[in-house]
Amino acid sequence: MPTDLPGDWTTEEEESLLTCRIFDVHRARARSPRSGNVHDVYRIITPDWVNVIPLTPDGQVVMVRQFRHGTRALTLEIPGGMVDPGESPAAAAARELLEETGYAGGAVQALGAVEPNPALFENRCHTYLVRDVLRVDEIRNEGAEETSVELHPLTDVPRLIREGAITHALVVAAFHWLSLSEAETPR
């Protein structure tokens, strides 16, 4: 049994193997602090992501239905996307909300952040809450995006997760952040 605790590995070298428009794949040579051995590791480099829980004044979540090419299925998600260069995560959340749903609302309130997959990805996903959203514009799909909007009562979300209607881990994590926020500061 190893007696020393896990520590930070050092990177000996790193190269980009592939560029895929929304992510790059890197291979790095990393040295173990425990054994001193060097191992190849693969890393996926992409900008930070955001997602946002938009709540209407009557307690509905503004959700997005879209086809996802990883699973090749339609998903039910909250709005979200990549943070653009020079953009703050909060600004990205407000922008994605408006582009994907045509809704806008009050203050963009940070709920928390997660690492989508720290084993592979370098980035973080920042989650926001926007209350009192209203429909102010049309959906503006860009490129290959094809989305539609569905309103679901916030109180239905646990059932939608249990029944497999909401499957995206980052969306589930967002609703967990909301539940932690509600547990801390009831309104």
Q: Does 162 bind a copy of itself (CB under 8 A)?
A: yes
- Residue number with CB closer to a copy of itself (85 or 143): 143
181: left (phi over 0), alpha (psi -120 to 50) or beta: alpha
Q: Does 113 bind a copy of itself (CB under 8 A)?
A: yes
Supply the minimum distance, in Å, between the C-beta of residue 139 and a copy of itself: 6
Binding region for a copy of itself (CB under 8 A) out of 41-49, 55-63, 91-99, 128-136: 41-49
- Residue number with CB closer to a copy of itself (73 or 86): 73
Residue 156 three-state SS: helix
Within 13 Å of residue 96, how many CA atoms lie on the same side as its CB?
A: 31
Q: Does 2 bind a copy of itself (CB under 8 A)?
A: yes
Closest Cα partner for 89 from 137, 47, 46?
Answer: 47
Binding region for a copy of itself (CB under 8 A) out of 55-63, 91-99, 119-127, 128-136: 119-127
Full DSSP string of 8-60:
--EEEEEEEEEE-SS-EEEEEEEE-TTT--EEEEEEEE---EEEEEEB-TTSE
Query: Cα separation of 116 and 160, whole Å?
Result: 21
Supply the minimum distance, in Å, between the C-beta of residue 30 and a copy of itself: 6
Supply the minimum distance, in Å, between the C-beta of residue 129 and a copy of itself: 15
Site string for a copy of itself, 65-104 (x = CB under 8 A): xxxxxxxxxxx-----------------------------
